Structure formats: C-alpha cells, structure tokens
Amino acid sequence: MILFDILLVIGAYLIGSIPSGLIVGKVGYGIDIRQHGSGNLGGTNTFRTLGKKAGIIVTLADILKGTLAAALPLIFGSEINPLLFGVIAVIGHMYPIFAGFKGGKAVATSGGVILLYQPLLFLSVLLIFLISLKLTKYVSLSSILTGIFALIYSIIYSVFFKTDIPLVIVISLLAFFVIYRHRANIKRIRNKTEPKITWL
C-alpha cells in the first residue's frame, strides 16, 4: 500500500510537470514561449506571446492539472489527503521534469487543487482575482492578492465553520509559492516597470 501511494505521488508530480504552455506553443504555433516575453511557461506569458485563445487553453490545462492530481487518491482509493497530491502537482508545475525544471508560477495549478477540495473557495478566489485584475491591470499583483485572500478565507473557515488544519497548511504553502515565484514581479511593481494587461 505504501508503494502504491508513492506511485500516486510520483504520478501527481508528473501530471503537474506537463508543460501546457510549451506544448500549446510548439504544437499550435511553432513557438517556444520560453524564448519570448518573460520566458515563463504559465498562462500569463502565453497570453502575451500567443494571444487570448492560447492563453485560455493553457490556463485551463494548468488548472485541470491540479484538479486531476488532487483527485488521484479519490480515483484510486488512497486514504492520503488529496491536498498532498495537489501540492506535489504544484511543485511539478513550478519545477517540471519535462521542461528542464523551469515552469510556471503556481497560480492556475493551485487553483485547480482548490477547485477539487473546496469549490466555493475556488469561486471566491477566481472572483477576487478578476476584480483585482480589472482594478490594477497587474496579473502578478492580482495573483499575490488572491493567494493572501485564500489564506485568510481558509483560516476563517477553519476557525468559525469547520476545522480543517490541512487546508490552512496547504493554502499557506500555496500562497507562499505564489508570492515567492512572483518576487521579481514585486520588484518591477515597485519600480513601476511591471507590464499591465490591456485586454480587461
């Protein structure tokens, strides 16, 4: 059983490692997005480099990676908390074995994990992200604010509604991942050199 769970964890990492942006760029457009824009494999750079259609596809694919990985214990009957598999998938997304361990910034895949485990929280963070994006025009800042909101939400939920320590711990980790992966963006925001979106 332990070996089976280890295989599932490896599977979660491999799912997270699927480089959606790289695949869509090369297969659909003949472009390696790592050589354009920020060089990042996530949805934001895909939007900037390849346009809305490709950006939406990559973002949805990255979300589904988190959802599928978190669903592995439910599909295969493991008793391990789905959130663990979700965190492993997010690590795979950030450091994908299939793309030289240089991946995305954890936002969409983290959202996919939340979608499976706590759908209401997913809808809430999606709304917060879109409102923040509309107001600030910064994807990076909106991602950071969304991570902070998710953490506050999980703490309030665990304290006042249903105690869920694993949720608080995992959301804390995911929020840390998001903020850490955006540290260069934070510097650019401070220097007023961070690019803003023009499509919302």
Q: 150 lies in a domain?
A: yes
Task: Give the structural domain span for 96.
Answer: 2-190
- State how far the Cα of 83 lies from the Cα of 162, in Å rounded to an integer: 16
Q: 180 lies in a domain?
A: yes
- State how far the Cα of 60 lies from the Cα of 130, in Å rounded to an integer: 15
The answer to whether residue 199 scores a pLDDT higher than 80 is no
* Mean of per-residue pLDDT scores for the chain: 94
The answer to whether residue 117 scores a pLDDT higher than 80 is yes
Q: Structural domain tally of the chain? A: 1
Cβ 167 vs Cβ 99: under 8 Å: no
pLDDT for the residue 40: 85
pLDDT per position as a tens digit, 74-102: 999 999 999 999 999 999 999 999 999 99
Q: 169 lies in a domain?
A: yes
- State how far the Cα of 122 lies from the Cα of 113, in Å rounded to an integer: 9
- Residue that has been written with the tokens 């903020």 in this structure: 179
Q: 195 lies in a domain?
A: no
- Residue that has been written with the tokens 């509309």 in this structure: 134
Please give the single-letter amino acid code of residue 109: T
Cα distances from 20 to residues 25, 63, 70, 99, 198, in angstroms, run 8, 10, 18, 10, 23
pLDDT band at residue 160 under the 50/70/90 scheme? very high
Q: 130 lies in a domain?
A: yes
Structure tokens at 34: 């790592």
pLDDT per position as a tens digit, 24-72: 999 989 999 988 888 788 888 898 888 889 999 999 999 999 999 999 9
pTM listed for this prediction: 0.94
Q: 74 lies in a domain?
A: yes
Q: 200 lies in a domain?
A: no
Q: 71 lies in a domain?
A: yes
Q: Is 129 helix (H, G, I), strand (E, B) or coil?
A: helix
